[in-house]
Amino acid sequence: MKAFILERYGKKRALRLADMLEPELRDDEVLVQVHAAGVNQLDARIRDGAFKLILPYRLPLILGHDVAGVVVKVGSRVRQFKSGDEVYARADDFRIGTFAEFVPVKEASLALKPQGLTMEEAASIPLVGLTAWQALVEQGELKKGQKVFIQAGSGGVGTFAIQLAKQLGATVATTTSTANVALVKRLGADVVIDYKTQDFESVLRDYDIVLHSQDGKTLAKSLRVLKRGGQLISISGPPAPEFGKEIAAPGFVRLVMRLLSAGVRRKARGLGVGYAFLFMKANGAQLREITRLIEGGAIRPVIDKVFPFESTPEAMTYVDSGRAKGKVVVKVK
């Protein structure tokens, strides 16, 4: 099958189109013919080599985490899906590879594609949708009437998280640049801070939850907009020791995590707020909840650009720019 592979780790290293063997299917997996693949910052960070400690992949590697497509084969223990089903998923860690014609996905990570969405729209959802769900619903337990600050509202995670938080009944503040103010307002943001002209710390106070996705300087400031007992959930680091335990990381990796996050954990304790690092996971059951919200009209995909399969490296470069408004998708079939 045709696939885009990473042969060596390295910043901005381009993927190469290659002929690869079709993946062997395990008993609990289905083989999906990829129609569209979402492109994520995670693909770019893995390519850079930034995740070598957490996700030690062997090269060559087919990149790509998000898929929408059609089931063409099912493993012997699969019960919920059959050939011909239209599905979508965040591919499983160590089984990724959606920048290809076929990808295996565990039954437990898969859901039927939301009705009414194109394959490209469906492929834009899983990784960012599950990230927002796991941050706001699972970890944050965000409730009606609470206040949440979602950073980078115009990005892949932000465009989904704003809509989800509004659906949960929260007041939503977000940051974006001048050009994207109208977009985040349309998605439902109540308080919009143009980071080019305003400092969020002087506008926001007593927030229940911050979904942090930016750099360390932003992290320190974000702790101070929380009320006592509030929670900062970071998806851009530093990883906390609990995360090391969760992924059963070796001792030295856990030590690195402990040291990297010591400063922010100390500051959080001093302010009486919580700090958690989240690394999203594939989850078919949560994806079905997301499907329900999409089919009910509460959440809609926000797509910036769709690239043809041959232009997957250009799609990666565009995501790398950090300027995408919503999601970037590759049309494979």
Ligand X SMILES: NC(=O)c1ccc[n+]([C@@H]2O[C@H](COP(=O)([O-])OP(=O)(O)OC[C@H]3O[C@@H](n4cnc5c(N)ncnc54)[C@H](OP(=O)(O)O)[C@@H]3O)[C@@H](O)[C@H]2O)c1
Report the alpha-carbon distance of residue 290 to residue 120 in Å, rounded. Answer: 16
- Greatest CA separation for the chain: 58
- The stretch among 26-34, 137-145, 147-155, 264-272 that binds ligand X (CB under 6 A) is 147-155
User: Is the torsion defined by CA of 314, 126, 27, 43 positive or negative?
Assistant: positive
Residue among 28 and 194 whose Cβ is closer to ligand X = 194
| Residue among 128, 211, 299, 329 that touches ligand X (CB under 6 A) | 128
Residue among 78 and 304 whose Cβ is closer to ligand X = 304
| Residue among 145, 169, 263, 322 that touches ligand X (CB under 6 A) | 322
- The stretch among 1-9, 116-124, 243-251, 319-327 that binds ligand X (CB under 6 A) is 319-327
| Residue among 324, 329, 330, 332 that touches ligand X (CB under 6 A) | 324
Residue 58: name the closest of 4, 1, 6 by CA: 6
278 interacts with ligand X by CB under 6 A: yes
Report the alpha-carbon distance of residue 69 to residue 86 in Å, rounded. Answer: 6
CA dihedral (21, 26, 27, 30) in degrees, to 10, reads -60
- The stretch among 21-29, 141-149, 252-260, 272-280 that binds ligand X (CB under 6 A) is 272-280
287 interacts with ligand X by CB under 6 A: no
| Residue among 80, 83, 177, 202 that touches ligand X (CB under 6 A) | 177
177 vs 118, 128, 145, 193, 210, CA distance in Å?
29, 20, 26, 8, 19
Residue among 71 and 210 whose Cβ is closer to ligand X = 210
24 vs 20, 60, 82, 175, CA distance in Å?
12, 16, 17, 44
* Smallest separation, CB 278 to ligand X (Å): 6
- The stretch among 16-24, 223-231, 241-249, 275-283 that binds ligand X (CB under 6 A) is 275-283
Structure-token pair, residue 127? 């990784």
| Residue among 163, 236, 283, 286 that touches ligand X (CB under 6 A) | 236
Residue among 33 and 131 whose Cβ is closer to ligand X = 131
Residue 147: name the closest of 203, 106, 204 by CA: 204
